[in-house]
Amino acid sequence: MTSLADLTTMRVGGEPTRLVEAATTDELVELAREVTADGDDWFVLGGGSNTLAADEGFDGTVLRVATRGVERLDDVDGRVRLRVAAGEPWEDLVAHTVDQGWSGFEALSGIPGSTGASPIQNIGAYGQEVAQTLVSVDFLDAETGEFVRVPAANLGLGYRTSVFKRGRRGVVTAVEFALVDDGGTSAQVSYPQLATALGVGLGDRVPVADVRASVLALRASKGMVLDPADADATSCGSFFTNPIVPRQVAAALPSAAPRWPVDPEPEARVVPLGDAPAPPPPPSSGLVKLSAAWLIEQAGIGRGFRLPGSGAAISSKHTLALTNRGSATAADVAELARFVQQRVSAEFGVVLHPEPVLLGLSL
């Protein structure tokens, strides 16, 4: 039996009780109906890049999605519409769209995993996220057994979350996107680090191929591109999400702590004398996003840190990644993750939450 270590980028995890694989959408729908109806525990696995599986394996059925295909639909409102099979590797899809000169995915280059997982996590990087281009998902609802097409507006998309992460169970079979064909020109560059790498200003547009190349270089410098020759790449990528906390919690942190208001600043408005007063700005959530990497580093955990005798370590390139140095067990990774959580909580009173799905274990 194939182990979950063979199917995940962290390279840890034991065998599932049962493993089934779907190579076509029809097979996926049929297997999904069978697996979700038989009463046993089940788990859907795509590229395995966002999963930490227990050493004991999984007491249930793993449904591996290996479907492929990118279909161009009729363009709508000048946008290129694509329906993509859930098992299509995300990086292959991004490379294809950049080669075509379409924008919308270029800053999401180098992210491992499958396309079907992209709306579940609402993946994002360098100023782009899937929510900006997502139209709908084709979905087999495990509770009702119905096969439905769910519009993006009904998916509750947020920072690294969706309704699927908040309890709606089922299987994504295909995803529809709308991209922009602007002669090979990117969307506005909105991430400072990317703008610096490109040598342009925020809001500028450049060739999509240039954005992709810069993002791949940035990710590789952080060990965030799959590479068998790089031990730092044997990971789940960023292990913790950037915490979102009340404004008063952020205010208690050192002034050097990076922070970003969750709500954008309201636009300034000039009202001529005698005119009716401007309406009040929309209410603020009062929430602030913090840098998990900064919190970890300032809690005394640096790059390359490992617990004595452990096969897991913090990446030597990026503090947010927990890596398998070749001999790690899932227990090693979980122990290191707990240690990081405890140190950050003790130092700053902030709880870090894991980004990957934990299969058969908890922190």
Beta strands in 197-326 (DSSP E): 235-238, 244-246, 259-261, 287-290, 312-314, 321-324
| Residue 331 pLDDT greater than 60, yes or no | yes
pLDDT tens, 71-106? 999 998 889 999 999 999 999 999 999 999 999 999
| Mean local confidence (pLDDT), 7-17 | 97
State residue 270's pLDDT score: 43
State residue 78's pLDDT score: 85
State residue 286's pLDDT score: 85
Q: How confident is the model at residue 273 (pLDDT cuts 50, 70, 90)?
A: very low
| Of the listed ranges 159-163, 177-181, 202-206, the one predicted with least confidence | 159-163
Q: Please report where in the chains the tokens 């097979």 appear, as a residue.
A: 27
| Residue 272 pLDDT greater than 90, yes or no | no
Structure tokens at 62: 């793993």
Active site residue 355: yes
| Of the listed ranges 142-151, 172-181, 206-215, 327-336, the one predicted with least confidence | 142-151
pLDDT tens, 225-255? 999 889 899 999 999 999 999 999 999 999 9
| Residue 265 pLDDT greater than 50, yes or no | no
State residue 38's pLDDT score: 87
**362 Cβ contact list (under 8 Å, min separation 6):** 334
| Residue 275 pLDDT greater than 70, yes or no | no
- Rounded to whole angstroms, how far apart are CA atoms 292 and 306? 18
Q: Residue 255: is it exposed, middle or buried by C-beta count within 10 angstroms (0-12/13-18/19+)? A: exposed
For 121, which DSSP code? H
Mean pLDDT of all residues belonging to the chain: 93
User: Which one is catalytic: 118, 238, 310, 315?
Assistant: 238
147 CA to centre of own chain: 25
Q: How confident is the model at residue 1 (pLDDT cuts 50, 70, 90)?
A: confident
pTM of the model: 0.89
Beta strands in 182-316 (DSSP E): 235-238, 244-246, 259-261, 287-290, 312-314
State residue 271's pLDDT score: 41
| Mean local confidence (pLDDT), 54-60 | 96
State residue 205's pLDDT score: 97
User: Which one is catalytic: 103, 106, 114, 160?
Assistant: 160
The domains located in the chain, with CATH, are 4-65 (3.30.43.10), 70-221 (3.30.465.10), 231-244+291-359 (3.90.78.10)
pLDDT tens, 100-150? 999 999 999 999 999 999 999 999 999 999 999 999 999 999 988 899 999
State residue 285's pLDDT score: 62
Strands 124-125, 128-129: pairing is antiparallel
Q: How confident is the model at residue 263 (pLDDT cuts 50, 70, 90)?
A: low
State residue 77's pLDDT score: 87
Q: How confident is the model at residue 39 (pLDDT cuts 50, 70, 90)?
A: confident
pLDDT tens, 283-326? 456 899 999 999 999 999 999 999 999 999 999 999 999 999 99
User: Which one is catalytic: 88, 91, 176, 355?
Assistant: 355
